[in-house]
Structure 1
Amino acid sequence: MGARRYDAVVVGAGHNGLVAAAYLARAGWSVLVLERLAEVGGAAVSRQVFPGVDVRLSAYSYLVSLLPDRIVADLGLQVMLADRAVASYTAVPGGPGLLVEREEGPATAASFRALTGSDAELAAWQRFYGRVATLAEDLAPTLTEPLLSPADLAGRLRDPQLWHDLRERPLADVVADELSHDVVRGVALTDGLIGTYADVHAADGLAGRCFLYHVVGNGTGRWRVPVGGMGAVSGAMAAAARGAGAELVPRAEVTAVEPRGDGATVHWTDDDGTERAVDTGWVVGGTAPAVLERLLGETPRPSADGAQLKVNMVLARLPRLRSGVDPAVAFAGTCHVDEAASQLDAAHAQAAAGRLPDVVPFEVYCHSLTDPTVLGPAERDAGRHTLTLFGLHTPAALFRDDPEGSRDEAVRRVVAQLDAHLAEPLLDCLARDAEGRPCLQAASPLDVEASLAMPGGHIFHGDLSWPVAETPDGVGTWGVATAHPRVVAASSGGTVRGGAVSGLGGYAAARSLLDRR
């Protein structure tokens, strides 16, 4: 292998690296993919987390929205994405909570009326999300085209005012213009905070960008469950790359990238510690930008830390709720807990002051209600279920002094908060593994950093970008350039339109190279 020159070497076999490899190999390029870990897929993997429990959990990322249908069709990806019957349920102390059906009907109307006392807030909600849907329909097709200028993009939009407001105004103000109830505002604002540590009252665009990426996918913004877990998605991408002729090498840790005018040499160490080198015409960086910069011998630019608490669980049974709402409804979509707008503000203020929030805003959902195939036959027959919890405003800095103790305290708080809405303790509902231990696994941003080489544990590799060319020389490009002409980025944080499990970074990297030939 060492003597062969490849057309492209892809560093990192996360979903973006796999998409880039598949596109290039399908175009007849010789492609080598080097992956540090023993499995491909990066954050888009499924694992049997608990010994003796036949359940394959989506270990890190867990839902799909931004993956374009175009990429699925181009690569012939054998993936199934299932719609959740419920969009969201928000637990409210002493009340029935707020239910938003996938197709909003009488139950949604009754829920809004019970929470707010009138039909006005539902009408405002539907007006706002009607505008969001129009923006998504207009913006989504541009994600697989060369970059437009902000003005050109605005010219393609039926509601350029919403695009302008999201870019120029604090997200909290945009939402407050439309919605009045504290709980309802919070449901909308969470889309600006998932995976992003941001102040929704700031005009820095952080929350607005995150909101946009959460509502624009495929023109609908609909978040779907990958049947078989996230590993089925990355597995299909790996199969497409291999099927097109790309070579995928796991346990291959890249140690340096030396670019030249006509290509580059990539140095790596294989599974038995042997040092190797391979020449290539192009390098595709599927790693976080800071990792790629280190491999190039550069000082990594500072990047934002992650700010999420992820808890994976297997339940012996779904817990009953004090509200009386059927848990198969409450947990089927996104179940919001302590995410009213005022609670989001209080948690951000405490985190910004260097404290773990007294009340951690979070959401939970049950993958297995939509996709029971992640459960083994015995677990399915026994009525077991998965439960995934995602906490907000828990930045990496809060865990650095005492990683395990701080993580355990964060878990204690979110479990207690969830228990406040349950008719039985969550811990009593957890399944037990082969050693008799509760099936609960938690990961702070530092744990994500250690597992996936994502600096700061940021699931987007850093702050998201607006999906446009911010400078004139970027117009018409794919937003993947690095300081080295023979090295292109493909990762979430390294590309203009990367973020979430979308494949857009890998798609853009491949298109940029194919356009040059």
Structure 2
Amino acid sequence: MLRGCGTRFLRNLNNFSGAYSQQCRHMQLKTEYDAVVIGAGHNGLIAAAYLQKAGLNVCVLERRHVIGGAAVTEEIVPGFKFSRASYLLSLMRPQIMNDLELKKYGLKIYFRNPSSYTPLAEPSGLDGKARSLTLGRDSQENARQISQFSKTDAERFVEYEEQLERIVSALDPLLDSPPVSMSALTGSSLREKWSSLGSVKALLSSVRSLGKDVPAFYELMTAPAQKILDRWFESEPLKATLATDSVIGAMASPQHPGSGYVLLHHVMGELDGMKGAWAYVEGGMGGVSKAIANCAQDHGASIFCDKPVSYVDVENNKVRGVVLADGTEIKTSTVLSNATAKVTYLDLLPKGSLPKETVEEVSHLDYTSPVTKINVAVDRIPNFKADPNVKENEPMPHHQCTIHLNCEDSQLIHDAYLDAQQGKITKTPMIEMVIPSTLDPTLCAPGKHVVLLFTQFTPYKLAQGEWDDANRNKYADVVFDTIERYAPGFKDSVIGRDILTPPDLEKTFGLTGGNIFHGSMSLDQLYFSRPTPGLASYKCPVSGLYLCGSGSHPGGGVMGAPGRLAASTALADL
């Protein structure tokens, strides 16, 4: 795997310690670069790699002690490596995987099969004995599993998946092209019109490819996911399991208009040519960032940790450089920000740099988040009542996939959403549990396991009190009590836990509002309106400043497209 790699890459790969700051200390920060990237999240690193490969001298400045942004691995409990924020890989664009040779630079993934497991607290189904619903890549097994609850649903599920796959395939070109610029199309400059031609072709190609699925696509963009699922299916365990994808990371209920698009966004992925496949990354999600950084550094880019940027220096509406929190000035004419639009345009730019209408647009972006991430170290594999372990502490197939709890009925999801809207700590949290150590032996010692809990719905502000340690632990205890109902003995297996509420996600990772997508993935904040209609070209009104994070098109997830497209835009301008 390492044959043919440069010596710099070999040195970086061998010396990588997870914290990355050891390498950063050995680099010399210069006073001038061709381009500076603010933030070493995966999109920022991808932007840096493309710019460096194009011949620019690039510097990446990360405020934390570790690279990766939300795609990071951290050892919070000694001996246990957590994917502390994002926890699965699927959306990374194939072109980026190939262009940056991420496998050559150390990326290794573990595919999961089955992919989804929903245990039931009480038996149900057509015979009253069904205990769980498991879905994967085997269509015949899927049919058998769904038939426990509905013979009709088992038949329709294949048709439902085929329609989603057709729509995803039709939209694929849009993920690799900048959004169509309305101002460019209507502007007087022939150069602007010509520059938007590729985006127009991609849009027309997608519309043409949708064909008979145009009505279904329109419905997905505008209708509640619940309405769509109710029309397709009748069994609640299946509908609720599918409905979770419609609200992941969104402060929305499946009963809300537009929640169908979030569902669509989460089936857009592809890994090694496998559509819709999700996988664990060896060593945790920091392995993705590590591979991208290895590529960028092997081509000559410099990456520095513990270097928070105070502000972007602007003169005559042009970028002059950046100033670090310690007062260090770095000259450059090109800055790409991997921060959110709010942080980039309202916090890092000096007041008065932007037109009043732009400030107002950015000020009203929706960053509402329902997510609390809980990372848990346990001394044995959970034992689910619905499918008891055959051998003590030996993982079974359902342990390797996404485990949905409190998902027997879609109403449970809606009820948890309503609690969050009132600022309450819900008693019925929606929980997605993954146990990556069932496939990746590098995360902890044999016999022990890393359990990652992606939970909803938690408000940013509580109606009573603050998100202090007492309330963090109060909510975590509710989550653990829920797991205990499905897997007795879980609480006794816990060695340690790390709780990240929406304010914690904001403080730790710079995610405004705790939103994992750098802003809502609602229809009003997508495509040529992401993050706003006036900023959808990755460019800022200040010449030389670009937004390369998930707040720009095509949005959130460990996708990489915003980083590549922003770098491409900057290179075209240069």
CA distance in 2, matches of 1:280, 1:429: 52
Are 1:64 and 2:89 matched, yes or no?
Answer: yes
After TM superposition, give the deviation of residue 229 of structure 1 in Å. Answer: 1.0
Counting only pairs closer than 5 Å after superposition, residues 431-510 of structure 1 correspond to structure 2 as 438-464=495-521, 468-469=527-528, 479-493=537-551, 495-510=552-567
CA distance in 2, matches of 1:399, 1:363: 25
Are 1:103 and 2:137 matched, yes or no?
Answer: yes
Shifted more, 328-337 versus 154-163: the winner is 154-163
Q: State the partner residue of 1:352.
A: 421
CA distance in 2, matches of 1:503, 1:457: 20
Secondary structure of 1:414 counterpart? helix
Are 1:127 and 2:172 matched, yes or no?
Answer: no
Counterpart amino acid of 1:337?
L
Are 1:212 and 2:241 matched, yes or no?
Answer: no
After TM superposition, give the deviation of residue 165 of structure 1 in Å. Answer: 0.9
TM-score, structure 2 normalization = 0.80
Structure 2: give runs of 5+ residues left out of the alignment.
1-27, 124-129, 180-198, 352-358, 390-394
Structure 1: give runs of 5+ residues left out of the alignment.
431-437
CA distance in 2, matches of 1:415, 1:260: 53
After TM superposition, give the deviation of residue 325 of structure 1 in Å. Answer: 4.3
CA distance in 2, matches of 1:468, 1:348: 26
Q: State the partner residue of 1:285.
A: 337
Q: State the partner residue of 2:369.
A: 306
CA distance in 1, matches of 2:434, 2:462: 25
After TM superposition, give the deviation of residue 99 of structure 1 in Å. Answer: 3.1
Q: State the partner residue of 2:302.
A: 247
Cα pair 2:416 2:430 within 8 Å, conserved: yes
Shifted more, 61-70 versus 306-315: the winner is 306-315
Cα pair 1:399 1:446 within 8 Å, conserved: no
Q: State the partner residue of 2:350.
A: 297
After TM superposition, give the deviation of residue 266 of structure 1 in Å. Answer: 3.2
After TM superposition, give the deviation of residue 347 of structure 1 in Å. Answer: 1.2
User: Which of the numbers 41, 65, 70 marks the counterpart of 1:38?
Assistant: 65
Are 1:187 and 2:241 matched, yes or no?
Answer: yes
CA distance in 1, matches of 2:156, 2:315: 57
Aligned residues: 492
After TM superposition, give the deviation of residue 351 of structure 1 in Å. Answer: 1.6
Shifted more, 162-171 versus 24-33: the winner is 162-171
Secondary structure of 1:363 counterpart? strand
After TM superposition, give the deviation of residue 498 of structure 1 in Å. Answer: 2.4
User: Which of the numbers 490, 509, 513 marks the counterpart of 1:426?
Assistant: 490
Deviations, residues 62-114 of structure 1 (Å, cap 9, x unaligned): 10111012101101113122210111110112224333342225543332222
Are 1:89 and 2:117 matched, yes or no?
Answer: yes
After TM superposition, give the deviation of residue 6 of structure 1 in Å. Answer: 2.1
After TM superposition, give the deviation of residue 386 of structure 1 in Å. Answer: 1.4
User: Which of the numbers 368, 373, 396 marks the counterpart of 2:460?
Assistant: 396
Shifted more, 131-140 versus 29-38: the winner is 131-140
Shifted more, 210-219 versus 12-21: the winner is 210-219
After TM superposition, give the deviation of residue 402 of structure 1 in Å. Answer: 2.2
After TM superposition, give the deviation of residue 18 of structure 1 in Å. Answer: 0.4
CA distance in 1, matches of 2:334, 2:564: 15
Q: State the partner residue of 2:399.
A: 331
CA distance in 1, matches of 2:108, 2:207: 33
CA distance in 1, matches of 2:471, 2:463: 5
CA distance in 2, matches of 1:440, 1:4: 42
CA distance in 2, matches of 1:312, 1:247: 31
CA distance in 2, matches of 1:212, 1:112: 21
Q: State the partner residue of 2:108.
A: 80
Are 1:386 and 2:454 matched, yes or no?
Answer: no
Secondary structure of 2:559 counterpart? coil
Counterpart amino acid of 1:469?
F
Counterpart amino acid of 1:344?
I
CA distance in 2, matches of 1:238, 1:268: 23
Deviations, residues 105-157 of structure 1 (Å, cap 9, x unaligned): 5543332222x1x4211222221111111122222233112334666632232
Sort the Cα spacing of 1:503 and 1:187 in 2 relative to 1 into closer, same or farther, 3 A. Answer: same
Q: What is the alpha-carbon root mean square deviation over aligned residues? A: 2.5
After TM superposition, give the deviation of residue 230 of structure 1 in Å. Answer: 0.6
Secondary structure of 2:237 counterpart? helix
Cα pair 1:479 1:508 within 8 Å, conserved: no
Cα pair 2:65 2:305 within 8 Å, conserved: yes
Are 1:230 and 2:289 matched, yes or no?
Answer: no
TM-score, structure 1 normalization = 0.89
Are 1:154 and 2:192 matched, yes or no?
Answer: no
CA distance in 2, matches of 1:324, 1:14: 39
Q: State the partner residue of 2:5.
A: none
Are 1:265 and 2:320 matched, yes or no?
Answer: yes
Cα pair 1:465 1:496 within 8 Å, conserved: no
CA distance in 2, matches of 1:90, 1:288: 34
User: Which of the numbers 404, 411, 419 marks the counterpart of 2:476?
Assistant: 411
Deviations, residues 339-375 of structure 1 (Å, cap 9, x unaligned): 2211111111222122222211111111011222223
Counterpart amino acid of 2:284?
G
Shifted more, 139-148 versus 225-234: the winner is 139-148
Cα pair 2:506 2:512 within 8 Å, conserved: yes
Cα pair 1:13 1:33 within 8 Å, conserved: yes
After TM superposition, give the deviation of residue 399 of structure 1 in Å. Answer: 8.0
CA distance in 2, matches of 1:161, 1:325: 44
